[in-house]
Amino acid sequence: MRILVLNGPNLNLLGHREPEVYGRLTLAEISQAIERRAAELGGEIECRQSNLEGELVGWVQEAKGTFDVILLNAAAYTHTSVALRDAVAAVGVPTIEIHLSNVHAREEFRHKSMIAAVCVGVIAGFGMTSYLLGVEAAFKLNVAQQTAK
């Protein structure tokens, strides 16, 4: 079971800016915790971050055949990117949308996701635990898919 974790713009600032909104953990610390959980469950994780929409689109496209599930925190691109939505829909690797914050309790422009409708599900509002729940969900999904074959 191989999981690709993609993080969008500004998430590299985690732990360094706005701790009252996004917490004190750095992206490296979050990635380590996700890797540990995936290893406990017998899987492998690769975590990447980019501030560039096109780079994220490229990584989604390349995931086919290499990764079983994508965990995608597209950050601000969640609310704007038709390109990421089209990539997720076209590639067909099951994708779970992840958010640290509860986007529905924030500004109205964050309530709309361009990507959620082409994802298997959305996990938001639990800080780092959103990613850990995403790992659990990825394993459940994979087991369900193997059983259905």
> 45 with 58: CB under 8 angstroms?
no
Residues 88-127 that bind ligand CA2 (CB under 6 A): 99-101, 103, 110
> 68 with 142: CB under 8 angstroms?
yes
d(CA 103, CA 105): 5
Catalytic residue of the set 16, 22, 77, 131: 22
22 is catalytic: yes
* Amino acid in position 105: A
CB 24 to ligand CA2: min, Å: 10
Helix segments in the chain, DSSP class H: 19-22, 27-40, 53-62, 82-91, 128-148
CB nearer to ligand CA2: pick between 22 and 67: 22
77 is catalytic: no
Q: How far apart are the first and last CA of the chain?
A: 16
Segment interacting with ligand CA2 (CB under 6 A) among 69-77, 83-91, 115-123, 133-141: 69-77
The catalytic site residues sit at: 22, 99
Q: Which residues bind ligand CA2 (CB under 6 A)?
A: 10-11, 13-14, 17-18, 22, 73, 75-76, 78, 99-101, 103, 110
